[in-house]
C-alpha cells in the first residue's frame, strides 16, 4: 500500500516518510509515540486495519479492514498556535477536494471535522496540537475515510456510509491519500505551516 501511495505523491515533505502497519490499535496513538521521539517532519503513519481507531471526543472510529483509509500525519509547525485556529476546517476542505479530484464525487463538510455524503458520514478528521507552554511541540492530523466498505455495524448503518456504498464503484485508496497530501502540502506552504 505505501509504495502505491508514494507513486502518486508530488510532495517534498508531507508523506515522504511512510510508516506502514498491516494492523495497529490506532495510527494516532502510534504517531504520538513517534513524534515524542522526534520522527521526521511530515511522516505518515498508515494502517491497513485499526483495532482501536479514535474519533473525536474519544469515540471509537470503525474502519473495515483492507477497504478504507486510516492514517495520521506528524508535523512540526513553524507558526503560532493562533495561526492554526482554522486548521481542521482547512484540512476538511483538502479532503473534499482530493475526493472530488480522484473520484469525481462531491462531498460536504459538517463543521468542523466530518466529511459527509448524501447526509451520512464518510470521513472524519482528528487534529491534536501538542504544546510546550506557548510553543507547538508537534501536530497530529488523523484522517479516516470510508472508501470501499460494503457494510457497517448495525448501530452505524443509519449514520455512516462509504464512497462504494453510495456509488457502487470501487476507488483507489492510494490515489486519494496521495492527492490529499499533494493538496495539503500546497495549503501548508501557502499558510507557512511547514
Q: What is the pLDDT of residues 136-159, one digit of tens each?
A: 999 999 999 999 988 776 777 778
Please give the full DSSP string across 130-186, using - where no structure is assigned. EEETTEEEEEEEEEEE--S-----TTTTTTB--HHHHHS----HHHHHHHHHHHHHH
- pLDDT bracket for residue 180 (50, 70, 90): very high
Is the preceding peptide bond at 112 cis, omega within 30 degrees of 0? yes
Mean pLDDT of the chain: 88
- Domain 2-190 carries which CATH code? 3.30.930.10
Domain ranges of the chain: 2-190
Q: Return the ∠ at Cα 173 (arms to 58 and 190), rounded to 5°.
A: 75
Q: Residue 117 pairs with which residues in a beta bridge?
A: 120
Amino acid at each position: 500500500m505505501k509504495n502505491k501511495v508514494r507513486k502518486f505523491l508530488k510532495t517534498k515533505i508531507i508523506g515522504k516518510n511512510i510508516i506502514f502497519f498491516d494492523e495497529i490499535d490506532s495510527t494516532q496513538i502510534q504517531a504520538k509515540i513517534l513524534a515524542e521521539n522526534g520522527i521526521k517532519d511530515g511522516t505518515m503513519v498508515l494502517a491497513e486495519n485499526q483495532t482501536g481507531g479514535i474519533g473525536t471526543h474519544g469515540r471509537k472510529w470503525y474502519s473495515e479492514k483492507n477497504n478504507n483509509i486510516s492514517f495520521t500525519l506528524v508535523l512540526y509547525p513553524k507558526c503560532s498556535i493562533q495561526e492554526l485556529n482554522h486548521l481542521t476546517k482547512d484540512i476538511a476542505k483538502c479532503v473534499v477536494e482530493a475526493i472530488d479530484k480522484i473520484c469525481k464525487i462531491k462531498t460536504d463538510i459538517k463543521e468542523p471535522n466530518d466529511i459527509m455524503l448524501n447526509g451520512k458520514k464518510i470521513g472524519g478528521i482528528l487534529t491534536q496540537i501538542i504544546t510546550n507552554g506557548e510553543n507547538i511541540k508537534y501536530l497530529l492530523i488523523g484522517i479516516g475515510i470510508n472508501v470501499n466498505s460494503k457494510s457497517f455495524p448495525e448501530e452505524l448503518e443509519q449514520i455512516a456510509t462509504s464512497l462504494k456504498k453510495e456509488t457502487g464503484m470501487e476507488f483507489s485508496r492510494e490515489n486519494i491519500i496521495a492527492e490529499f497530501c499533494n493538496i495539503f502540502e500546497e495549503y501548508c506552504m501557502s499558510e507557512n505551516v511547514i
